[in-house]
Chains A and B, each alone.
Chain A
Amino acid sequence: MSELKDRIKETIEREPVVAFVKGTHLQAYCGNSERAMQALRSVGASFVAVDVLPDPAIRQELSALSNWPTIPQVFIRGELVGGADIVQELAATGELESKLDEKLGVEWRNGGEERTIALTERENPFRLAR
C-alpha cells in the first residue's frame, strides 16, 4: 500500500466528517464539490475538506479505496455516504442528520470549525484561496 493511500485511509478513519473536494472549504472549484459542502453546512455539520486537485494521485488512490469514481466524496466515521447528489438528497430528507447522529452521537451538533488539510507535500490548501 502506498504512503499516500495510507494517509487517505488514516484521514477517513480519523476525521468524523471528511469531504474530498476540488478546492478548499473556502473556495470550491467545482459546482458539485460546492453542493456537497453546502449540504453538510445546511444541517450544521462541520467537516474537514481535502483538496484533490494538487495531485492527481489523491483522486486515483481515493477512488480505488472507496470504489467511487467521482469527486466529491463525503465520509462520516469512515463510511462513504455519497457524492454531491446523495449528500444533498439526504440533507433534504433529514436522513443526513440521522446518519450523523447514528455514526457520531449528538456531539456533532455542537458544531466545529471547517478546515482544509493537506495530504501531500505538493499540496498547499490555501494556495487557491488567496
Chain B
Amino acid sequence: MTAPIEELLRRAFPEARELAVQDRTGGGDHFQVTVVSPRFNGLSLVDQHRLVYDALAAPMEDGTIHELRISTRGEQ
C-alpha cells in the first residue's frame, strides 16, 4: 500500500519535481521513497532525510512503515 505514504509526501512536498514510493518487498511495510525538490537545495543529506522522516512520522510511529529507505536530492 504505497498510496497513503505517497499522499503524505505529496502534502509535505507539494513542490516536488519527482516523488516516488516503492514497496520494496511486496509486504506493505518496507518502502523506498524518492523525493527531488528544490527545497532540499543547500541542505545536508541528513537534514533532507529529516524532512522526509518528519513527513512520515505518523506511519513510522504506528508501525505501518517497518523500514524506510530514502533517496533525496535538490534540484540541479
Give Cα distance in the complex from A127 to B69, angstroms.
29
Contact with A along B54-76 (1 / 0, CB 8 A): 00010010000001111100000
Known contacts: A32-B67, A69-B53. The answer to whether A81 contacts B60 by CB under 8 A is no
A118 at the interface (CB under 8 A from B): no
Task: Scan residues 102-117 of chain A and give those whose CB is less than 8 A from a CB of chain B.
Answer: none
Q: Return chain B residues, CB-CB under 8 Å to A89.
A: 45, 71
Chain A residues within 8 Å of B69, by CB? 84-85
Q: With A69-B53, A69-B60, A70-B53 given, is the CB distance from A80 to B67 under 8 Å? A: no
Chain B residues contacting A69 (CB-CB under 8 Å) are 53, 57, 60
Beta-carbon contact of B45 and A82 below 8 Å: yes
- Please name all residues of chain B whose beta carbon is closer than 8 Å to the beta carbon of A85 when the two chains form the complex: 49, 69-71
**Residues in chain B within 8 A of chain A (CB atoms):** 45-46, 49-50, 53, 57, 60, 67-71
Closest 9 CB pairs of A and B: A86-B45, A69-B53, A85-B70, A82-B46, A85-B69, A80-B46, A82-B45, A69-B60, A86-B49
**A residues at B contact (CB < 8 Å):** 32, 67-70, 80-86, 89-90
